[in-house]
């Protein structure tokens, strides 16, 4: 499958064209220069053919962060089969555009010059100025007005290979050629969201997990805006990682970061496991606790990743005690200390993810579940309410991801939260369900929750 890279300086409309080709809003777009900073991949259909589109960050070297963005964008161009080089049609071509275009030509890839933002006839009169590039293939478009895109897609369609090509070969037996092959078993997939405050090292962690520079890293807080997704196969399981934008105080969330926060929440709706990244080189903040609440809100499996351990301000015991004190509602989450930049202990995270996900998907046999509930009630009787005895008739698990258990009772509202916590602790002790929440739903006989199968 051919890879097509969108390359150009900041704010020329690469992400808008990316969304137009993908036929959905994937990349965040704005008038702010440099909104896209990481590389976004998307398999798309162009006509009846498939291709992979790469939306890259703008080629700008005005700061250390944007030099990193530029380097990643150029690497994406080198790895692609075709380059769509975008320029802004509102302005006359400048020396930087020409220098970049000529440098890209030297890569030996098929290259297309796209003059975007040709929004009206007045601008169209100046397009001949772009002939100075000497481009063999040139298109004048306006993504915002949806003009010229159809012609571009038709041109691309002609240059993409057919997905199925018949090869004539007298030596191939026809019946053997059409004999169905054994369909390989579909690999398990786990969706993992990497969350945390700005600048705690989420992008560095993603790069370390993947063993390559996939997400832009810099000292500038809030470098990642679009969630960056990438996957790898580990022990015959597909791990889909999403590096979400860093969360900051609500008073500081402005402009494109509002879209980023919304996109982060959308990613969490699809996630199975959260890597909650904390910075061990400084005191934990109130915002860390608010971000941790997202785990509880979305009922996800969780691993607490204590990053920057090589610069830790406290010893191991104090750090762990501090985490358990501040994040009591995540007492079930395993904690691992790492240094993403030096790759220290990062390799252990994948095995923990597999274990947490297994627990997240746990299904407890009904007989075993009721045996534990019965034993629990014998050890500590349920406190009565206003002299009325509270009884649990039986329990059943009606869903997983995470384990959801219905307690069929005479008075569901009479079950105190402390006793529910006691039951959950007993279940954890019995099944060692580390890393996953367990949801208990007290119900009357015959009462059902939406989606509950009893």
Q: How many CB atoms lie within 10 A of CB 49?
A: 17
**What are 128-148's pLDDT values in tens digits?**
788 888 888 899 988 888 888
How far apart CA 41 and CA 2 sit, in angstroms, is 12
The residue ranking higher by pLDDT, 117 or 75, is: 117
Answer yes or no: is pLDDT of 125 > 80: no
The residue ranking higher by pLDDT, 166 or 342, is: 342
How far apart CA 406 and CA 400 sit, in angstroms, is 12
Answer yes or no: is pLDDT of 308 > 90: yes
- Give the residue among 408, 401, 404, 445 at the shortest CA–CA distance from 427: 404
182 within domain boundaries: no
Answer yes or no: is pLDDT of 27 > 70: no
Q: How many CB atoms lie within 10 A of CB 3?
A: 17
Residue 174 has a pLDDT of 37
Residues 206 and 334 placed together within one structural domain of the fold:
yes
Q: Measured over all CA atoms, what is the biggest interatomic distance in the chain, rounded to whole angstroms?
A: 90
Answer yes or no: is pLDDT of 102 > 50: yes
The last residue of a domain, from among 135, 152, 177? 177
306 within domain boundaries: yes
Residue 289 has a pLDDT of 85
CB-count burial class (<10 Å; 0-12, 13-18, 19+) for 235: exposed
Residues 330 and 405 placed together within one structural domain of the fold:
no
Q: Peptide bond preceding 227: is omega within 30 degrees of 0, i.e. cis?
A: no
Residues 409 and 333 placed together within one structural domain of the fold:
no
The residue ranking higher by pLDDT, 76 or 115, is: 115
Residues 435 and 354 placed together within one structural domain of the fold:
no
Residues 330 and 214 placed together within one structural domain of the fold:
yes
Residue 262 has a pLDDT of 65
Answer yes or no: is pLDDT of 86 > 70: yes
Residues 404 and 434 placed together within one structural domain of the fold:
yes
Residues 170 and 211 placed together within one structural domain of the fold:
no
Residues 14 and 161 placed together within one structural domain of the fold:
yes
The residue ranking higher by pLDDT, 263 or 282, is: 282
Residue 181 has a pLDDT of 46
**Percent of the chain having pLDDT more than 90?**
24
Mean pLDDT of 329-347: 91
Phi, psi of 169 (to 5 degrees): -155, 115
Phi, psi of 418 (to 5 degrees): -70, -30
**What are 264-276's pLDDT values in tens digits?**
677 788 899 999 9
Residue 74 has a pLDDT of 75
| Close Cβ partners of 108 (under 8 Å, ≥ 6 residues apart) | none
Burial 76-114 (b: 16+ CB within 10 A, else e): bbeebbbbbbbbbbeeebeeebeebbeebbeeebebbbb
Mean pLDDT of 321-346: 91
Mean pLDDT of 13-32: 64
- Give the residue among 217, 420, 200, 357 at the shortest CA–CA distance from 291: 200
Q: CATH code at 157?
A: 3.40.50.300
**What are 365-391's pLDDT values in tens digits?**
999 999 999 998 888 888 888 888 888
104 within domain boundaries: yes
449 within domain boundaries: no
Residue 450 has a pLDDT of 43
Residues 165 and 284 placed together within one structural domain of the fold:
no
452 within domain boundaries: no
Joined tokens for residue 93: 């071509």
Segments in 37-94 forming alpha helices (H): 64-79
Residue 6 has a pLDDT of 86
DSSP 164-211: S-----TTS-HHHHHSPPPPPPPPEEEEEEEE-BTTSSHHHHHHHHHT
Residues 45 and 130 placed together within one structural domain of the fold:
yes
CB-count burial class (<10 Å; 0-12, 13-18, 19+) for 381: exposed
Residue 179 has a pLDDT of 43
Residues 323 and 404 placed together within one structural domain of the fold:
no
Reported as a pLDDT band with limits 50, 70 and 90, residue 350 is very high
Mean pLDDT of 312-318: 91
| Close Cβ partners of 34 (under 8 Å, ≥ 6 residues apart) | 10, 11, 57, 58, 60, 66, 69
156 within domain boundaries: yes
Give the count of domains, the chain. 3
Q: Is 409 helix (H, G, I), strand (E, B) or coil?
A: strand
- In which element (H, E) is residue 7 found? strand 3-8
Q: Is 395 helix (H, G, I), strand (E, B) or coil?
A: strand
Mean pLDDT of 297-317: 92
Reported as a pLDDT band with limits 50, 70 and 90, residue 401 is very high
**What are 430-446's pLDDT values in tens digits?**
888 899 999 999 998 87
- CA 307, chain centre distance (Å): 19
For every residue of 315-360, which 3-state class applies, written as one string? CHHHHHHHHHHHCHHHCCCCEEECECCCCECHHHHHHHHHHHHHHH
351 within domain boundaries: yes
103 within domain boundaries: yes
pTM surpassing 0.85? no
How far apart CA 198 and CA 219 sit, in angstroms, is 10
Q: Is 379 helix (H, G, I), strand (E, B) or coil?
A: helix
Answer yes or no: is pLDDT of 400 > 50: yes
Joined tokens for residue 374: 């019965």
Q: What angle do CA 154, 27, 206 make, to 5 degrees?
A: 120
The last residue of a domain, from among 328, 359, 390? 359
Reported as a pLDDT band with limits 50, 70 and 90, residue 31 is very low
Residue 257's domain comprises: 188-359
**Cα dihedral value 365, 371, 374, 376, nearest 10:** -90
How far apart CA 217 and CA 202 sit, in angstroms, is 9
**What are 149-186's pLDDT values in tens digits?**
889 899 998 888 875 444 444 443 433 433 444 445 56
Mean pLDDT score of the chain, rounded to an integer? 78
Contact 247, 168 (CB under 8 A): no
The last residue of a domain, from among 340, 359, 378? 359
Residues 245 and 297 placed together within one structural domain of the fold:
yes
Residue 19 has a pLDDT of 82
Reported as a pLDDT band with limits 50, 70 and 90, residue 29 is very low
Mean pLDDT of 338-362: 93
């Amino acid at each position: 499958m051919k890879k097509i890279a969108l390359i150009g300086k900041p704010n020329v409309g690469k992400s808008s064209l990316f969304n137009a080709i993908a036929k959905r809003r994937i990349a965040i777009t704005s008038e702010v220069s440099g909104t896209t900073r990481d590389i976004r991949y998307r398999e798309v259909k162009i006509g009846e053919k498939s291709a992979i589109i790469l939306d890259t960050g703008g080629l700008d070297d005005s700061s250390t962060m944007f030099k990193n963005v530029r380097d990643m964008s150029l690497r994406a161009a080198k790895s692609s089969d075709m380059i769509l080089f975008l320029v802004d049609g509102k302005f006359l071509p400048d020396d930087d555009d020409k220098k970049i275009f000529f440098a890209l030509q030297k890569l030996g890839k098929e290259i297309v010059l796209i003059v975007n933002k040709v929004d009206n006839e007045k601008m169209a009169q100046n397009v001949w100025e772009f002939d100075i590039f000497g481009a063999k293939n040139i298109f004048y478009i306006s993504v915002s007005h949806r003009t010229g895109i159809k012609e571009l897609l038709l041109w691309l369609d002609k240059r993409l290979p057919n997905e199925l090509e018949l090869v004539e070969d007298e030596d191939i037996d026809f019946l053997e050629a059409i004999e169905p092959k054994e369909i390989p078993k579909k690999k398990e997939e786990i969706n993992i969201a990497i969350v945390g405050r700005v600048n705690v090292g989420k992008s560095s962690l993603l790069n370390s997990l993947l063993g390559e520079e996939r997400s832009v890293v810099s000292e500038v807080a809030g470098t990642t805006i679009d969630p960056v997704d990438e996957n790898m196969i580990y022990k015959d399981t597909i791990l889909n990682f999403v590096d979400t934008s860093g969360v900051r105080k609500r008073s500081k969330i402005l402009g494109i970061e509002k879209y980023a926060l919304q996109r982060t929440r959308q990613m969490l709706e699809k996630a199975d496991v959260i890597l909650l990244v904390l910075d061990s080189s400084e005191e934990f903040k109130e915002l860390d606790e608010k971000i941790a609440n997202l785990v509880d809100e979305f009922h996800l499996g969780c691993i607490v990743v204590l990053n920057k351990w090589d610069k830790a301000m406290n010893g191991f015991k104090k750090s762990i005690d501090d985490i358990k004190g501040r994040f009591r509602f995540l007492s079930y989450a395993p904690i691992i200390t790492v240094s993403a930049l030096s790759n220290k202990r990062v390799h252990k995270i994948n095995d923990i993810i597999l274990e947490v996900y297994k627990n997240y998907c746990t299904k407890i046999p009904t007989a075993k579940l009721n045996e534990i509930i019965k034993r629990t009630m014998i050890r500590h009787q349920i406190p009565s309410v206003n002299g009325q005895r509270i009884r649990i008739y039986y329990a059943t698990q009606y869903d997983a991801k995470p384990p959801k258990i219905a307690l069929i009772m005479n008075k569901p509202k009479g079950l105190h939260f402390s006793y529910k916590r006691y039951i959950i602790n007993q279940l954890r002790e019995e099944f060692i369900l580390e890393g996953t929440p367990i949801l208990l739903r007290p119900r009357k006989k015959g009462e059902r929750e939406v989606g509950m199968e009893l």
